[in-house]
Structure 1
Amino acid sequence: MIGVDVGGGDRLALAVLVQYRMATTEQMHWVIAPGVRIEQTRRRLARLREEGLIDRITLPQAGRRRVWFPTAYGARIACEWPELRGRRPSRTASDPTAVRLKVGHALTVTETALAFLQDARHRGDVCRPLDWVTEVHHPIGSGEAVIPDALLYYRRGPVGGDGGPMLRAFVEVDRATMGPGLEGNGGPSCSRTIGGGTAPLPPGPPTRRAEAGQPATAIAGQHPSAGRRLDARRPDLHSQAALRQG
């Protein structure tokens, strides 16, 4: 057997962009390849762009940060892979204008994913790049549905270990742009959905209005300890996500 994963890094990079919607160069580096020099990530992204699989916009702020997103061609290819089968990228996910208009919130959501990934790596828990799924449609009955910013999968303990059940959580990131009414309606619906519609789950940490420019994150968990464990990550999540707000 050949012990080389030919194209594996390119495949993961494209899959992450399709699933996360968009990310900066630095975010992509820390998500897919934190153990190598960032120049390698830059070369990988440039190569994928040359192949027509991804594209980028350049933010006008200081530093002219590049934001990467999948092209329609790249999304079609990635969604044929087993790990992304069933995913339905937004029709505007590959439109540069739509990307530019959504960039503030979307990059904060990506930074939130990165906070969980980095913390899991530090703790030795299981949370891989593709364990963060954005904007998944979840019916809750009576013709209603919720579309959280992300669905998170997280398991305590190392790969292959018996660290307990896989935790699932809906994550909502508010950049102080949502009214209290919209914030308050998300948690119960998310809890009912994760619980299979049979009974309300123990509530996750309550939604907080963003203060001093920090994003507030509402989390509905699958397990009574899920909310507490994820709530413990809130300070790190806030400090990292705040770096990407524009």
Structure 2
Amino acid sequence: MRDVDAGGTDRMALAVLVQYRMATTEQLHLLLAPGVRIEQTRRRLAKLRAEGLVDRITLPQAGRTRVWFPTSYGAQIAGEWPELRGRRPSRTASDRTAVRLRAGHGLTVTEVALAFVQDARRRGDICQPLDWIPEVHHAFGGGEAVIPDALLYYRKGSDGRGVMLRAFVEVDRATMGPERLGAKLGAYARLHAHVPTSAPGTRRRPAGLEPPQEEWRRHYPLFPRLLFILDGTGPTGVENRTHALYTAAGQLAPDALLGVPVLAAALTDLLRDGPCAPVWRPVQDPDQRIAWSH
């Protein structure tokens, strides 16, 4: 595309907005160019807006926060780039009304992404802005699917040889009851166990071939760990929701999600101490406090 520099921050700004769906000016600045003055980020976004690639709304709260999002044209252009091909979220908010209605949850998810990216920079790990992929659709038969708020890739160390960690991230802002939150664990357990079956009328599998494997193994060498980030309530609400996850974990079959870490943390703790701090509670033993990469 003529108007977006081939390898610079303009291109990355549009790619992040397409992948994340929305972000404030400050979030984009900290994700993309924290070492320069924020006025440069504002000028870059104004340029992309003049080119019809992004647009913005202004939230009515104090401070009149500007929220940026890709236009349909911007999403179409960026979707052709190799770094986003096949990785776009299941839905993109490309008009002002949709962004306004989703801003509370969408900006919280972006804030969590920023926390992981910034923590990786401080620790010398690798977690680039595009290593956070919202709303990756995972179907597991019968019309059911799991769509986490984000899929996270995070590599320990900076030499490219460290351990790669993957996580399904769920950001709960108390917009659903604790029981519905706990029910998500059952959906992940079904995804973990799902083995595709042959369509009716297909020929029987020849003898001697390996038996079919779980569908998720086509995408991940290990099932991603599950991270539940709880917001929108005080400490009592966080306790209630953590207990709901504990109860749901106890109702799963003994071999369900075997070996998969399932952790919960309060958003306030995560933002205060960083996501790599021991702010996470294993839902099977919520009295513990561990690091998510433990």
TM-score category, normalised to shorter length? 0.7 to 0.9
Structure 1 residue runs of 5 or longer lacking an equivalent are: 242-246
Match of 1:132 in 2: 132
Match of 1:59 in 2: 59
Q: Does 1:81 align with 2:81?
A: yes
Q: Is the 8 A contact 1:57 1:100 kept in 2?
A: yes
1 CA distance for matches of 2:123 and 2:113?
A: 16
Candidates 269, 279, 282, aligned match of 1:235: 269
- Taking a change above 3 Å as real, the CA distance of residues 225 and 136 of structure 1, as seen in their structure-2 partners, is closer
- The count of corresponding residues between Structure 1 and Structure 2 is 231
2 CA distance for matches of 1:55 and 1:92?
A: 13
TM-score, normalised by the number of residues in structure 2: 0.68
Deviations along 1:205-230, one digit per CA (max 9) or x if unpaired, are: 67767532898899xxx9958657x9
Deviations along 1:14-43, one digit per CA (max 9) or x if unpaired, are: 000000010000000001111111111111
Letter in 2 for 1:176: A
Instruction: Indicate the SS of the match to 1:35.
Output: coil
1 CA distance for matches of 2:59 and 2:274?
A: 19
Structure scoring higher RCO (CA < 8 A, sep ≥ 6) equals 1
Letter in 2 for 1:132: W
Instruction: Indicate the SS of the match to 1:151.
Output: strand
- Residue 193 of structure 1: CA displacement? 4.0
Deviations along 1:33-57, one digit per CA (max 9) or x if unpaired, are: 1111111111110100000000000
- Residue 141 of structure 1: CA displacement? 2.4
Match of 2:33 in 1: 33
Q: Is the 8 A contact 1:167 1:226 kept in 2?
A: no
Structure 2 residue runs of 5 or longer lacking an equivalent are: 196-213, 217-221, 246-256, 276-294
2 CA distance for matches of 1:223 and 1:80?
A: 38
Q: How does 1:152-231 map to 2 (within 5 A)?
A: 152-160=152-160, 162-164=161-163, 166-190=164-188, 193=191, 198=214, 204=226, 211-212=233-234
Match of 2:210 in 1: none
Q: Does 1:121 align with 2:124?
A: no
Match of 1:46 in 2: 46
Q: How does 1:90-109 map to 2 (within 5 A)?
A: 93-109=93-109
- Taking a change above 3 Å as real, the CA distance of residues 101 and 15 of structure 1, as seen in their structure-2 partners, is same
- Residue 187 of structure 1: CA displacement? 2.8
Match of 2:14 in 1: 14
Pick the structure with more helix per residue: 1
- Residue 142 of structure 1: CA displacement? 2.7
Cα RMSD for the two superposed structures:
3.5
2 CA distance for matches of 1:28 and 1:163?
A: 27
- Taking a change above 3 Å as real, the CA distance of residues 81 and 192 of structure 1, as seen in their structure-2 partners, is farther
Letter in 2 for 1:74: G
TM-score, normalised by the number of residues in structure 1: 0.80
- Taking a change above 3 Å as real, the CA distance of residues 35 and 240 of structure 1, as seen in their structure-2 partners, is same
Farther off after superposition, 67-76 or 141-150:
141-150
1 CA distance for matches of 2:266 and 2:173?
A: 20
- Residue 86 of structure 1: CA displacement? 1.7
